[in-house]
Amino acid sequence: MIGRSTYFGSRAKRAINDIIGGSAASVLGTTFGLSYALLIFAGPLSPYLSYGIAATFVSSAVIATVIALGSSLPFGVAGPDSATAAVTGILAASLVERILAADPSAQLLSPVLITLALSTVVTGIVLCGLGLTRMGRAIRYVPYPVIGGFLGATGLLIVLGAVRVITDHPVQLNTLLRFTNIITISELSAACAMAFVLYVTSHRSRGPFGLPAVLIGGVIAAHLAFWIIGISSEQARAIGWTFQPPPPAAFMLPWHADELSHYPWSAVPDLLGNLVAVIFVTAASTLFNTTGIEVAVHREANLERELNVTGFANILAGALAGYAGCVSVSRTILNFSSGGRGRLSGLTAAAVSLLMLAVAPALLGYMPKFVLGGLLLYLGAGQLHKWIIESRKRLSNIEYLSLLAIIAIVVTWGFVPGVLIGVIIGCATFAFSAARIESIKFSFDGSEYRSSLDRSRDDQDVLLAHGGKIQGLNLQSYLFFGSANRLYQHVKALLLLQPECRYLLFDFKLVTGIDSSAAYSFAQIKRSAHDLGVHLVLVHLSASAEKVLRSSDFITDGITTIDELDHALEWCENEIIMQHQGLAQEAANLRDWFTRMLDSEDDADELIRRCQRIEVAAAEIIVRAGDAADSMHFILDGRVGIMVPADDGRATRVRSLGRYTTIGEMGLVSHAPRSATIQAEVASVLYVLNTRQFEAIKTDDPALGQKLLTYFVSVIAERLSFANQTIAVLRR
C-alpha cells in the first residue's frame, strides 16, 4: 500500500508540474496568438479579426494537442510561430491585393480562409513526405546564408507588420507623413520601450516567468496610466491606444461548394511563391526549433518523427481552417523550466487555447496596442539581430553579402525571387565544394599507429594492450553542415563499436575549410563524447577553422588542440601509460595489504581474483541500512562513514574508516540485514567480496576461508575493545 501511494503521489506531482508548466507557456502562447492574429488580419482584413482570432486559437489547440501526443519531446509545446505567422500574413496580403485589384467590392473572408487552410494542408503533406522519406535532413544541406536570408526577411516583415498593428498604417512612401502625428509617435515610442523592456528581461532574467510578467505588467501599467491622467477605456480606444473589441470569435469552415466555386482560382499561380515560402519556413522552423530545444534541454529528438507529427498536425489544423505552426522554442523551454516533463503540458496549453476562443475577443478590447506591437517588434528585432548581427561573426564576406541580398530581395519583390537567388547560391556553393563528398580520408587507433617516440618494452606492452583507447580520424576537404552531420553519425557509431575509446583525435591537416553551420554537428560530437568520458584532441587546426569553432563555443575546457599529429599521439600515449602505472601501483598496494593480512602471496592473489573493484564518489551511498548483507568491502583508498538512521529522519555518523580497513564482515558471516548505512566521505576505491565468492572460497580453499574468518574475528574483537573503552570513558 505504501508503494502504491508513493507511486500515485509521484504521478500526481508530475501531473501538477506539467499543468503548471503548460499554463505558464500558455501565457506566452495567448499573447503570441493575439499578436499573430493582428499581424495576419490587418489592413483590409481587420473587419474579420474575430475570424482570425478563431483561426489562431483553433490552430494553437490542434497543433499543440497533436504534437503533445506524438512528439519525441514529450514536454514540447507547439502552435503558430512568429516566422510562420509572418509568411502566412504575406500570403494573405498578396491574395487580398489581387482580389481587390480585380474587384474592390469583392468578399474577402472566404477566399482568405480557404487560402490559409489549403496552404496549411499542403504544408502538412510536404512535411509528412519529408519525414516519411527521411528527406527532412536535406534542409541541412541548404546554405546557411539562404536560410538566414529567409528567416531574417521574416523578422523584418514582422517589424513592418508591428508598425501597422500599432498605427493602423503600412510603412510605405505615400504614408510616411502619417507617422509625424504626435499620437502616432507616442504609440511607436511606447511600443519601442516595451520591446526594449522585453529584450532586457529576456537577457537578464534567469527565471522562466520574466517574459510573461513583463507582458502582464505592461497591460496593468497602461491602464493605470490611463486612470491617472483621467482617460476612460472608451476614450483610450477612440484615441487609438487600445484595440476596438471585436465581436465574439467566429469559427467558420469554408468548405462549402458555393464558397469554393467563387474562389479566385486564377490568382493561385501568382501565390505559389508565397506558398513555397510557407512550406519552407515551416519546415526550417520545425528543424531549427527542434535543434534549439535539443541544445537547451540536453535531449535528442527524432527529426523524422517531428516532421511527421508536425505534418499531421498541420493537415488537421488546415482542415479546420487554421494556419501553419510547429513546436515553439520559447514556450517549450518555459514549460521545461517550470517543471513540465510530460505530454500533459502540451494538452494544458491546447485547453487554454480553446478557452481563449471565448475570452480573447473581450481580452483584446483591453489590450494596449503598444503591448502587442512591442511584442511583435521584440520578436522581429530578435530575428533580425540573430540573422544579421550574430551571423556576421560566423560568415565570410561573400556569405554575409548573400544573406543581406536575399533579405532585401524577399522584402522588396517577394519570396519567389528570394527562392531563385537561394537556388543560385545553393548551386554555386555546391559547385565550389564539389570535392567534399567524404569528410574522412582514413581512421586509425593507437595500437596500429603510434608516435615516433622510442619507448621501453614495458611501455610498448601497455600501448599494445590499451592502444584501442586512442581513436583517430583523418579529415579532408570542406566541412559543411551536411558532411559534418555525417561525421557526427560516424563518430556515434565508432564510439558504440569502440566503448574502450578515451581519446578521439581529429586531424584537420587536409581540411580546406569549415562552414559556420558545421559547428552544430561538432557541438553534438562534443556532447556525445563528454557523455562517454571521451577526450577530444584537435590536430592541425587552421586559424580560420579555429575561429569558426571558437565562435560557437566548441573549443572550451576539455578540448585539446595540438599542432602536430605525432605530438598529439605522444600526448595521448603518455596519458594512457600514466593511467596504467597508477592502476599497476594500486594493484601492488592491494597485493601487499592482502599479503600482510593473510601471510601468503598466493592467498592474496586468490582473494584479489575473487573481489570486484569499484570506485565511489564523495557522498555516494555504498549500502543502505536494512539491505541484505550480501557483501563486505575492503577500503583500499579514501574514507567511508558508518551512518545510523535516527527517528527524525536524519543520520548520525558513528564511525569513520580510512584506507586499508574493512567494513561489512559481520553481516557476511551472520547474514543479518544491514544495521547502518555506509556512505563515502571522499572519493574512494573499494574491493567488494560478495557472499557467493566467500562461500566459494570456503568450499574451494578452506585454508583461505579459515584465514578470512580469523581476520574477521580479530577485526570485530578490536572494534569491540574500542567500544568498551569508549563506554568506560563515558561512565566516569
DSSP one-letter string for 271-339? HHHHHHHHHHHHHHHHHHHHHHHHHHHT----HHHHHHHHHHHHHHHHHTT----EE-HHHHHHHHHTT
Could you tell me the CATH superfamily of domain 590-731? Jelly Rolls (2.60.120.10)
pLDDT bucket at 6, cuts 50 / 70 / 90: low
Helices then strands, each counted (H, E), the chain? 25, 15
pLDDT bucket at 627, cuts 50 / 70 / 90: confident
Q: List Cα–Cα distances, 63 to 58, 72, 84, in angstroms.
A: 8, 15, 13
Q: Return d(Cα 344, Cα 481) in angstroms, integer.
A: 35
- Map residue 367 onto helix, strand or coil: coil
In this model, does residue 272 exceed pLDDT 70? yes
pLDDT bucket at 205, cuts 50 / 70 / 90: low
For residue 432, count CB atoms less than 10 angstroms from its CB and return exposed for 0-12, middle for 13-18, buried for 19 or more: exposed
* pTM value > 0.85: no
Share of the chain above pLDDT 90, in %: 8
pLDDT bucket at 454, cuts 50 / 70 / 90: confident
CB 171 within 8 A of CB 400: no
Beta bridge partners of 190: none
Mean pLDDT of 40-55: 84
Query: How far is CA 59 from its chain centroid?
Result: 24
Please tell me the least confidently modeled range out of 49-63, 567-581, 601-615.
Answer: 567-581
Domain residue spans in the chain? 4-432, 440-580, 590-731
Taken in order 82, 221, 365, 234, the sign of the CA dihedral is: negative
CA dihedral 236, 240, 242, 246 (to 10 degrees): 110
How is residue 444 written as a grid cell?
Answer: 586509425
Q: What is the pLDDT of residue 206?
A: 59
In this model, does residue 225 exceed pLDDT 80? yes
Beta bridge partners of 561: 538
Query: How far is CA 31 from its chain centroid?
Result: 23
Average pLDDT of the chain is: 81
Residue 559's nearest CA partner among 602, 598, 503 is: 503
Q: What is the pLDDT of residue 435?
A: 39
Q: Return d(Cα 387, Cα 127) in angstroms, integer.
A: 24
Pick the CATH number of 440-580 from 3.30.420.40, 3.30.450.20, 2.40.30.170, 3.30.750.24: 3.30.750.24
Q: Return d(Cα 335, Cα 296) in angstroms, integer.
A: 12
- Map residue 148 onto helix, strand or coil: helix
- Map residue 147 onto helix, strand or coil: helix
Please tell me the least confidently modeled range out of 93-107, 491-505, 641-655.
Answer: 641-655
CB 29 within 8 A of CB 360: no
In this model, does residue 422 exceed pLDDT 90? no
In this model, does residue 138 exceed pLDDT 70? no
The angle subtended at Cα 47 by Cα 41 and Cα 52, nearest 5°, is 40
Q: Return d(Cα 116, Cα 434) in angstroms, integer.
A: 40
How is residue 368 written as a grid cell?
Answer: 494596449
Long-range contacts, stretch 669-675, CB < 8 angstroms, 24+ apart:
669/709, 669/712, 670/629, 671/628, 671/629, 672/629, 673/626, 673/627, 673/628, 673/629, 674/623, 674/624, 674/625, 674/626, 674/627, 674/628, 674/629, 675/625, 675/644
The pLDDT tens digits of the residues spanning 501-538 come to: 889 999 998 888 887 777 778 888 888 888 888 889 99
Mean pLDDT of 541-558: 81
Mean pLDDT of 607-634: 86
| Amino acid residing at 600 | S
